[in-house]
Each structure stands twice: as structure tokens, then as C-alpha cells.
Amino acid sequence: MCEYTVERAAANLPQSSQSALFTITGGRVLLVGLLGEVTTDIQNQSNLADVKVNPSVGSDVTMLSLSNIQGHSTGTMLSEDISVAASFLNPHRVCPVGTIDLSCAASSTGQIKWLLKYEPLDPGAKVTAA
């Protein structure tokens, strides 16, 4: 199978809400890597964050719990335990048509950029930055 990489430019955190990072169209994909990098310091207040699969049909599923992203500085690589990641998060999850979202419990300043690697499972399936 062919592996593709999609980059999403740095963007503000969702404000006490959920916002799409990537859009999946044309069929199912296998998510093989995900990396988040803080590009602007995150405000020093409690803010629980999750990465969720948000299918067009069905319910959201939490893919990665990022825990509390409070006070993380520029250059921090996000992993499930918010430690510095040496490589991509490796969720190996089949994702249907829909979006991959970032959900934040609080309204905090800060920005994160994302890099996603995937393999299409269905003809015409692809992922784009939202």
C-alpha cells in the first residue's frame, strides 16, 4: 500500500469545543502516524484535550487522550502522556469518512501544528487538512 503524509498548519486551539484537524473523504483510511507540535505556548490553565475520530455516520470515538495540555511551551511534541515524542504517535486505527478532531475542555491560547500519515483502504479514499 502507498503511505501519504498530510500537514496541517499551526492553528489556535479549539475554545472549549471540538474542531476538525483533518477531513477523510472517498472511503476508509488506515491512520498510521500522528504528530502534534506546539508552535505557540499554551496558556497555563487546566485544559484536557483529546483527538477524536468523528465519523459522518455514527458516534465520535476518542483516539488519543492528550491529558492536560496546560502550559506546554513551543516545540513540545504531543503524545498520549504529553511527554516529548521521539516519533509519531502510532494509533493504527481504521478511520471512516468524516473528520479527525481536536477537542479541548477549556478556552486557552496557544497553537499546534499537526502531521498525519495514512494509507487508503478504499479506492479514492484520502485525507486533507481541515
Q: What angle do CA 34, 39, 41 make, to 5 degrees?
A: 120
Strand segments, DSSP code E, in 1-130 are: 4-12, 18-25, 29-40, 48-55, 61-68, 77-78, 93-95, 98-104, 111-120, 126-129
Beta strands 126-129 and 48-55: pairing type?
unpaired
Distance CA 6, CA 117 (A): 6
Tell me if the pTM is above 0.85.
Answer: yes
Per-residue confidence (pLDDT) for residue 91, from 0 to 100: 58
Per-residue confidence (pLDDT) for residue 83, from 0 to 100: 38
Q: Where are the domains of the chain?
A: 4-129
User: Into which CATH architecture does domain 4-129 fall?
Assistant: Sandwich (2.60)
Q: What angle do CA 90, 95, 101 make, to 5 degrees?
A: 80
- Other C-beta atoms closer than 10 Å to the C-beta of 121 total 14
83 Cβ contact list (under 8 Å, min separation 6): none
The pLDDT tens digits for 6-37 are: 999 999 999 999 999 999 999 999 988 888 99
> What is the distance, to the nearest Å, from the Cα of residue 25 to the centroid of all Cα atoms in its chain?
16
Stretches where the chain sits below pLDDT 50 are: 80-88
Per-residue confidence (pLDDT) for residue 4, from 0 to 100: 95
Per-residue confidence (pLDDT) for residue 92, from 0 to 100: 74
